[in-house]
Amino acid sequence: MKRARPCAPPKPRRAAGLWAVPSPAAWAAAALPAEHRGRPITWSSWTPAPVITHYSSACSWCGDAGPCEMAGGRQGSPQSVTDPLRRYVAYRCPYCQEMTAYEHVGTDLEQIAHYKSRAPKGSRR
């Protein structure tokens, strides 16, 4: 008498010349800071940053060629003495979503927020 063999699942077959192509990576965008020093910031929408010819627009983290995106923000009022106008600017990489926000302090930029990317370092190089 023959013993019954247990059923094994069928082996996967690879069709000739067909390969699955992974979709491009999508990294979650970091949120812009909603407030700074206890006061709300109003942000504009993201737009492509101007390209400066003597400055590399490549992302320092992932290596994306750019250009990066920027958003402007403001807080306060130019006529107010108690709540003076403050201006902000934020830059982010459209590929890996690394983002840094700055406050305009005179002619300098003071960093107020930085969100590190979850993309692998050098993933676009």
79-107 pLDDT, tens digit per residue, is 888 888 999 999 999 888 899 999 999 99
Give residue 40's pLDDT: 93
On the 0-12 / 13-18 / 19+ scale of CB atoms within 10 A, 112 is: middle
Beta strands in 53-119 (DSSP E): 69-75, 86-92, 99-105, 108-115
Greatest mean pLDDT among 2-6, 49-53, 85-89 lies in 85-89
Please name the amino acid found at residue 4: A
Instruction: Give 111 or 61, the one with higher predicted confidence.
Output: 111
Residue 44 forms beta bridges with which residues? none
Q: State pTM to two decimals.
A: 0.73
